[in-house]
Amino acid sequence: MEPIGYLLGLAACLGIAGLVESIVLDRKIRGIASRIHVSGTRGKSSVCRLIAAGLNGNGIRTAAKTTGTLPRMICPDSSELPVFRPSGANIMEQARIVSLAREMDVQALVVECMALQPELHWISESKFIKATHGVITNIRPDHLDVMGPGTRDVALALSSMIPLRGKLYTAEQKHLDVLKYACEDRKSELISVSKDEALSVSSEELSRLPYIEHPENLALSLRLLSDFGITRSRGIEAMSAVNPDPGVLTEYELDFFGRKIVFVNAFAANDPESTLSIVERSRKKHSKLERLVVVLNLREDRPLRTMQFAEEVKVWSDACKLILLGQGAYLFSRLASEKQELQGNRFIYTEQDSVEDVFEKVIDACGKSALVIGVGNIAGMGLPLARLFKNRALL
């Protein structure tokens, strides 16, 4: 046989194998009655966990997969398995998650969208999840180098994962026209959670959760659960037992040798809009504390985000000290000094410091009382520093 014949035969075999694999995966997907695909800028992991806990706690056997601080497969019994990534993150892993969920004989699967590029949003939805319910938590200025340049472009990118002939739930308010157009094109129903619905979430309901949650995320989760026949009270009861993502917004109080310190772990807030909102809310809540210390964790591979933080967030000048972690520290300090005319003595560089050394630098900057807020990114030094504050906090 000529070489061209071998190549044609090989191509035919590969094509048949690919077709068979696609058919088998489609049967596994269709074998899961409810498939919930969650995307958005902030809060994806939390909303995934809330929905899964709400369904499981009300008799609907559910598995979930999150790609937040640590990628995890959440089993129906609430145990968690690490997601094995031999060659880094790849949307192909969603096929493994569907297969595993099918083996668990679940009635529902909640999956966090792990794509950034618009075309990968579409592939994740149309090939791997084929959702019955889509969720877009919010649309904010993040990953603009991939989905930008503006937030409307982010809305267009995220709309690629809207399911076909399904339902889309969102708490987004600014770009509903983009989502409505995409839903009409996919023949899906758009269900918008209004500001009034978010405001209706009481402080008592939020306090039932084992961490600090945004009212919009809880309202969004409750709205979706209601379409499964789950009442508000039963939904709250079930979600109160949720296992939080390691990167969720948490707050720890320390009495460190007479110094009163409140540490807010907001490292997962890595866009300017979310950061500003959290800082302002935390300062209002803890207005009696004398100082504001910001710990900013910056990634070397996110220079655009570093530039956004330096130029757009207006609270840096209010901080008595800015403790800079990560390889983007010097870029940030130069840009922030130029844009916001910050004095150089406000910056504390950590360079190759250990997490214990960074902790000591934070304490030294606190004075008698201080609000310390960690923002920027949970990766690298962010998570171990948050854990150190948690372990030294008052019980």
The beta-strand segments (E) located in 19-96 are 34-39, 62-66, 72-74, 80-82
Nearest of 174, 177, 173, 178 to residue 158 by alpha carbon: 178
**Axis crossing angle, helix 303-312 with helix 329-340, rounded to the nearest 10:** 30
Nearest of 273, 275, 217 to residue 245 by alpha carbon: 217
The pLDDT-based confidence of 85 (bands split at 50, 70, 90) is confident
User: Can you read off the two tokens belonging to residue 55?
Assistant: 């369904």
CATH (residue range 250-391):
3.90.190.20
Q: Model confidence over 223-265: pLDDT tens digits? A: 999 999 999 999 999 999 999 988 888 999 999 888 999 999 9
Alpha-carbon distance of 243 to 80, in angstroms, equals 9
Give the pairing of strands 108-112 and 80-82: unpaired
Share of the chain above pLDDT 90, in %: 60
Give the pairing of strands 250-256 and 72-74: unpaired
- Angle in degrees, CA 85, 91, 191, rounded to 5: 130
Alpha-carbon distance of 54 to 244, in angstroms, equals 13
**What does the pLDDT read at residue 6?**
65
Residue 272: count of CB within 10 angstroms of its CB: 20
Name the average pLDDT for the chain: 89
**What does the pLDDT read at residue 9?**
64
- Angle in degrees, CA 57, 391, 69, rounded to 5: 55
Q: Model confidence over 106-121: pLDDT tens digits? A: 999 999 998 888 888 8
Return the CATH superfamily for domain 28-239: Mur-like, catalytic domain (3.40.1190.10)
**CB distance 240 to 208 below 8 Å:** yes
Question: 73-107 as b/e, with b when 16 or more CB fall inside 10 Å?
Answer: bbbbeeeeeebeeeeeeebebbbebbebbbebebb
H-only helix segments in 240-381: 272-285, 303-312, 329-340, 355-364
Single-letter code of the amino acid located at 136: I
**DSSP SS3 for 137:** coil
**CB distance 51 to 280 below 8 Å:** no
Report domain extents, the chain.
28-239, 250-391
Query: Which residues share a beta bridge with 325?
Result: 297
pLDDT at 384 > cutoff 80: yes
Average pLDDT over residues 160-184: 96
Residue 207: count of CB within 10 angstroms of its CB: 11
**What does the pLDDT read at residue 365?**
94
What's 161's DSSP letter?
Answer: G
Question: 372-390 as b/e, with b when 16 or more CB fall inside 10 Å?
Answer: bbbbbbbbbbbbebbebbe
Q: Model confidence over 134-156: pLDDT tens digits? A: 999 999 888 787 887 889 999 99
Q: Model confidence over 254-310: pLDDT tens digits? A: 998 889 999 999 998 778 888 888 999 999 999 999 999 999 998 877 788 888 888
Q: Model confidence over 300-350: pLDDT tens digits? A: 777 888 888 887 777 788 889 999 998 888 888 888 888 777 777 889 999
**What does the pLDDT read at residue 271?**
81
**What does the pLDDT read at residue 100?**
92
